């Protein structure tokens, strides 16, 4: 047994220090980034924020909406050829990623999709635990099948495994174990790594090898997205922040809740209708049942099922996130998203914000 006593930080442990800036307005900030890859010879341009391959988030409707703002969507693993056929022509290959697990049937499904639609070139190989040898071997196998595709692999949280996956053929490593909004890995297993430190350490390891990382999970606000980029993430992946929208496709549940006011005549409480959408982790019981995978009896559920408030069109939320990010850049004098890490000094804090009215007003 060993104890590592270096302090590891989460988004909530820091704030970004403002700096003198010559930027006049957040309109002047450029969020588009251009990337080259370690293995693939392609180049990519867009705003490097991606919808997670979760039910209710990584949907075709989400991809069609987010691509208009140059954001990416990693489609759920369960997407079928039949579902894709009617929309494939409308999906932009630069912003559409296909995900796969590591089983033979996952690979066969991926191959049939990529064969039917050769315009797409981004693959996300996604498992909860990216530390197994079998996973690294699978990444190498996919690289040999698709030498010029952009391959994302994850999830890991340490520099050594980031480098291992890059050497085995990944262009981009996905970082995060346990920070997710509907994730219970840390409770079920005691395993995890504070997400801000995981991003800082894995980004450093990847950038040294001319490769990229995705900060996946744990963002609860536009400020957290800015902190992830400030820490060195090349892309940020969002689940919970993009859940609850029309594009996710879930059915809306209506619930009557006390408004806090009373009918003057009857003195009975006045009820408001609140709308919710179900959201769940991809290894929750709900996901396993829905996707008709038998949950192996050696494996416990590592995801929650929750109700998130219904929030309408995702475009409004996207504007909120991009507006926040532009504003962060103006606070630290970064003219572009690329300059944000250089402008970022994190200060450790014990309290992030004043939440005295947060509960009663939200
Ligand atoms: P969020 O943005 O909601 O905080 O985090 C999204 C990320 O949580 C996903 O991209 C994925 O990596 C992770 N995730 C999704 N479902 C589950 C789950 O059931 N269990 C665990 N451990 N992580 C999950």
Convert the pLDDT of each residue in 145-193 to its tens digit. 999 999 999 999 999 999 999 999 999 999 999 999 999 999 999 999 9
pLDDT of residue 293: 60
Percent of the chain with pLDDT strictly greater than 70 = 96
Residue 237 CA, ligand 1 centroid: distance in Å: 10
Percent of the chain with pLDDT strictly greater than 90 = 89
Residue 30 CA, ligand 1 centroid: distance in Å: 29
284 lines ligand 1 (CB under 6 A): yes
pLDDT of residue 319: 98
pLDDT of residue 359: 62
What is the atom index within ligand 1 of the atom nearest the CA of 126?
A: 12
224 lines ligand 1 (CB under 6 A): no
> Residue 358: is its pLDDT beyond 80?
no
> Residue 203: is its pLDDT beyond 90?
yes
State the pLDDT confidence band at 26, using cuts at 50, 70 and 90.
confident
**CATH fold for the domain made of 11-247+311-360:** TIM Barrel (3.20.20)
> Residue 296: is its pLDDT beyond 80?
no
> Residue 295: is its pLDDT beyond 80?
no
pLDDT of residue 89: 98
Residue 180 CA, ligand 1 centroid: distance in Å: 4
As a whole number, the mean pLDDT across the chain is 95
Q: How far apart are CA 125 and CA 138, in angstroms?
A: 9
The pLDDT of 305-329, averaged and rounded, is 97
State the pLDDT confidence band at 307, using cuts at 50, 70 and 90.
very high
pLDDT of residue 314: 98
What digits encode the pLDDT tens for the residues 183-197? Answer: 999 999 999 999 999
What digits encode the pLDDT tens for the residues 39-96? Answer: 999 999 999 999 999 999 999 999 999 999 999 999 999 999 999 999 999 999 999 9
> Residue 361: is its pLDDT beyond 70?
no
> Residue 242: is its pLDDT beyond 80?
yes
343 lines ligand 1 (CB under 6 A): no
For a substitution probing ligand 1, which of 175, 176, 277, 281 has the most ligand atoms within 8 Å of its CB?
Answer: 281
For a substitution probing ligand 1, which of 11, 192, 224, 282 has the most ligand atoms within 8 Å of its CB?
Answer: 282
> Residue 210: is its pLDDT beyond 80?
yes
For a substitution probing ligand 1, which of 239, 308, 314, 321 has the most ligand atoms within 8 Å of its CB?
Answer: 239
pLDDT of residue 290: 84
State the pLDDT confidence band at 299, using cuts at 50, 70 and 90.
low
- Is 202 annotated as catalytic? no
Task: Report the range of poorest mean pLDDT among 43-57, 120-134, 277-291.
Answer: 277-291
Residues of the chain with CATH 3.20.20.70: 11-247+311-360
Closest residue to atom 22 of ligand 1, CA basis: 183
pLDDT of residue 119: 98
> Residue 294: is its pLDDT beyond 70?
no
State the pLDDT confidence band at 298, using cuts at 50, 70 and 90.
low
Closest residue to atom 13 of ligand 1, CA basis: 180
157 lines ligand 1 (CB under 6 A): no
pLDDT of residue 36: 98
pLDDT, greater one: 291 or 213: 213
């Amino acid at each position: 047994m060993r104890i590592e006593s270096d302090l590891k930080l989460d988004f909530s442990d820091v704030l970004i220090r403002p700096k003198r800036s010559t930027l006049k307005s957040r309109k002047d900030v450029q969020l588009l980034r251009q990337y080259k890859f370690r293995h693939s010879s392609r180049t990519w341009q867009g705003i490097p924020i991606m919808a997670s391959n979760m039910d209710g988030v990584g949907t075709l409707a989400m991809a069609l909406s987010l691509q208009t703002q140059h954001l990416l969507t990693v489609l759920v693993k369960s997407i079928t050829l039949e579902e894709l056929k009617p929309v494939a022509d409308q999906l932009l290959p630069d912003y559409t990623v296909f995900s796969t697990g590591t089983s033979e049937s996952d690979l066969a499904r991926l191959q049939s999709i990529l064969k039917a639609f050769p315009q797409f070139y981004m693959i996300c190989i996604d498992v909860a635990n990216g530390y197994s040898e079998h996973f690294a071997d699978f990444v190498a196998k996919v690289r040999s099948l698709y030498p010029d595709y952009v391959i994302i692999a994850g999830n890991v949280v340490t520099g050594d495994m980031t480098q291992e996956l890059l050497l085995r053929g990944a262009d981009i490593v996905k970082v995060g174990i346990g920070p997710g909004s509907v994730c219970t890995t840390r409770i079920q297993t005691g395993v995890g790594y504070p997400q801000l430190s995981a991003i800082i350490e894995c980004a450093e390891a990847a950038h040294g090898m001319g490769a990229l990382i995705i900060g996946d999970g744990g963002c609860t606000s536009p400020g957290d997205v800015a902190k992830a980029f400030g820490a060195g993430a090349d892309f940020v992946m969002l689940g919970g922040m993009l859940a609850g929208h029309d594009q996710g496709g879930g059915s809306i549940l209506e619930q009557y809740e006390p408004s806090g006011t009373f009918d003057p005549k009857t003195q009975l409480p006045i009820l408001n209708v609140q709308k919710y959408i179900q959201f769940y982790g991809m290894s929750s019981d709900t996901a396993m049942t829905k996707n008709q995978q038998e949950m192996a009896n050696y494996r416990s559920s590592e995801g929650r099922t929750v109700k998130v408030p219904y929030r309408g069109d995702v475009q409004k939320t996207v504007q909120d996130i991009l507006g926040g990010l532009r504003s962060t850049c103006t606070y630290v004098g970064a003219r572009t998203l690329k300059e944000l890490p250089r402008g970022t000094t994190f200060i450790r804090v014990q309290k992030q914000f004043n939440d005295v009215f947060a509960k009663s007003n939200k």
